[in-house]
Amino acid sequence: MAQYSVELDGVFVALADPTRRDVIRRLGRGPLSVGDLAREFPMTLPSFMKHVRVLEANGLIRTAKSGRVRTCELVRERLAVVDGWLAQQRRIWDERTDRLERLVTDTKEEQ
């Protein structure tokens, strides 16, 4: 469980930044070079590369260098960590609202 928590924390930290979320969104359409990705953001390439490194360190993207071009690709499977956590939260809250509904319904029937 502790390892899962560390992985989940890292993914959420990576996704907490709007620039990194936008990179993930754009890579959802397919791989792009770092240059193509960076062109859309009002920052220097070294600053943009910090975002790429955070995403890569947390397993959300992978990069490959061919000659002078570094290409980024989304690791869709890694988003399953977030999806699993959200599904677990949905189940918890569904159970709570179901219990609340039963409580309200039972109270009304008793009156």
**What CATH number has the domain bearing residue 90?**
1.10.10.10
Q: Do residues 52 and 92 lie in contact, with contact meaning Cβ atoms separated by under 8 Å? A: no
pLDDT in tens, 62-74: 999 999 999 999 9
Query: Model confidence at 5, in pLDDT bands (50, 70, 90)?
Result: confident
**pLDDT (0 to 100) of residue 104:** 73
- For residue 37, which of 19, 12, 54, 53 has the smallest C-alpha distance? 19
Q: What is the pTM of this model?
A: 0.76
Residue 12 has pLDDT above 70, yes or no: yes
Q: Do residues 14 and 60 lie in contact, with contact meaning Cβ atoms separated by under 8 Å? A: yes
**Residues 60/45/41/39 CA torsion (nearest 10 deg):** -100
3-state secondary structure 46-93: HHHHHHHHHHHHCCCEEEEEECCEEEEEECHHHHHHHHHHHHHHHHHH
* Domain range enclosing 10: 2-110
pLDDT in tens, 31-54: 999 999 999 999 999 999 999 999
Quote the number of domains for the chain.
1
Lowest mean pLDDT across 1-5, 47-51, 101-105: 1-5
